[in-house]
Structure 1
Amino acid sequence: MRAAVLTATREPLAIADVTVSKPLAHEVLIRTAAVGVCRSDLHFVDGLYPHPLPAIPGHEAAGVVEAVGSEVRTVGPGDHVVTCLSAFCGHCEFCLSGRMSLCVSGETRRPRGAEPRLRLADGGAVAQMLNLSAYAEQMLVHEHACVAIDREMPLDRAALIGCAVTTGAGAVFNTADVAPGETVCVVGCGGIGLAAINAARIAGAGRIVALDPVPEKRAIAERLGATDTFDSAAEGVAAAVVEATRGGVHHAIEAVGRPQSAATAVAVLRRGGTATILGMLPPAEGVGLSAIDLLSGKRLQGGLMGSNRFPIDVPRLVDFYQRGLLDLDTLIAERLPLERINHAFDELRRGDTTRSVIVFA
Structure 2
Amino acid sequence: MKTRTAVLYAAGEPIRVEEIELDPPKEHEVLVRMVAAGICHSDHHVATGEMPAYLPMALGHEGAGIIEAVGPRVTNCKAGDHVVLSFIPGCGKCRYCLSGHSNLCNKGSATTLGPQLDGTFRMHSGTTNIGQFCLLSSFSEFTVVPDISVVVVDKEYPLNRAVLASCAVPTGVGAVIHRAKVTPGSTVMVIGCGGVGVNIIQGVKLAGARMIIAVDIHDFKLEMAQTLGATHIINAREKDPVRAAKELTDGMGVDYAFEAISTPETIGQAAAATGKNGIIVIVGLTDAKVTSMPIPPMLFVLLQKTVMGTIYGDSQPQKDIPELLALYKDGKLKLDELVTRTYTLDQVNEAYNDTLQGRTIRGVIEFN
Q: Deviations over 1:259-309 (max 9, x none)?
A: 111111111111111111011112232334530332211100001111110
2:274 corresponds to which residue? 269
CA 210–49 in structure 1, closer or farther in 2 if over 3 Å, else same: same
What is the TM-score when the length of structure 1 is the normalising length?
0.95
Matched, 1:316 2:323: yes
Aligned partners of 1:45 and 1:300: how far apart in 2?
29
8 A contact 2:50–2:289 mirrored in 1: no
Aligned partners of 1:170 and 1:245: how far apart in 2?
25
- 1:28 paired residue among 11, 27, 30: 30
User: Which letter does structure 2 place at the counterpart of 1:149?
Assistant: V
Matched, 1:248 2:253: yes
Structure 1 stretches lacking a partner, 5+ long: none
User: What SS class does the counterpart of residue 168 from structure 2 fall into?
Assistant: helix
Aligned partners of 2:267 and 2:236: how far apart in 1?
12
8 A contact 1:181–1:206 mirrored in 2: yes
TM-fit CA distance, 1:182: 1.4
8 A contact 2:328–2:335 mirrored in 1: yes
Aligned partners of 2:244 and 2:349: how far apart in 1?
38
Matched, 1:326 2:330: no
User: What SS class does the counterpart of residue 119 from structure 1 fall into?
Assistant: strand
Aligned partners of 1:227 and 1:51: how far apart in 2?
40
TM-fit CA distance, 1:107: 8.6
8 A contact 1:289–1:300 mirrored in 2: no
TM-fit CA distance, 1:235: 4.8
Aligned partners of 2:96 and 2:351: how far apart in 1?
35
- 1:184 paired residue among 188, 195, 199: 188
2:20 corresponds to which residue? 18
TM-fit CA distance, 1:25: 1.7
2:87 corresponds to which residue? 85
1:50 corresponds to which residue? 52
Matched, 1:73 2:78: no
What is the alpha-carbon root mean square deviation over aligned residues? 1.5
Structure 2 stretches lacking a partner, 5+ long: none
Aligned partners of 1:156 and 1:8: how far apart in 2?
29
Aligned partners of 1:235 and 1:208: how far apart in 2?
16
Aligned partners of 2:19 and 2:79: how far apart in 1?
24
CA 107–232 in structure 1, closer or farther in 2 if over 3 Å, else same: closer
Aligned partners of 1:243 and 1:172: how far apart in 2?
23
Identity over aligned pairs, percent: 37
8 A contact 1:187–1:232 mirrored in 2: no
1:213 corresponds to which residue? 217
User: Which letter does structure 2 place at the counterpart of 1:237?
Assistant: P
8 A contact 2:260–2:284 mirrored in 1: yes
Aligned partners of 2:349 and 2:36: how far apart in 1?
16
8 A contact 1:266–1:289 mirrored in 2: no
Aligned partners of 2:110 and 2:260: how far apart in 1?
30
8 A contact 2:110–2:134 mirrored in 1: no
User: Which letter does structure 1 place at the counterpart of 2:170?
Assistant: T
1:281 corresponds to which residue? 286
Aligned partners of 1:227 and 1:221: how far apart in 2?
9
Matched, 1:61 2:63: yes
What is the TM-score when the length of structure 2 is the normalising length?
0.94
Aligned partners of 1:104 and 1:137: how far apart in 2?
28
1:223 corresponds to which residue? 227
What is the total number of aligned residue pairs between the two structures?
358
- 1:352 paired residue among 337, 352, 359: 359
TM-fit CA distance, 1:256: 1.0
TM-fit CA distance, 1:352: 3.0
Aligned partners of 2:351 and 2:310: how far apart in 1?
26
8 A contact 2:255–2:275 mirrored in 1: yes
Aligned partners of 1:163 and 1:181: how far apart in 2?
27
TM-fit CA distance, 1:45: 0.9
Aligned partners of 1:216 and 1:110: how far apart in 2?
41
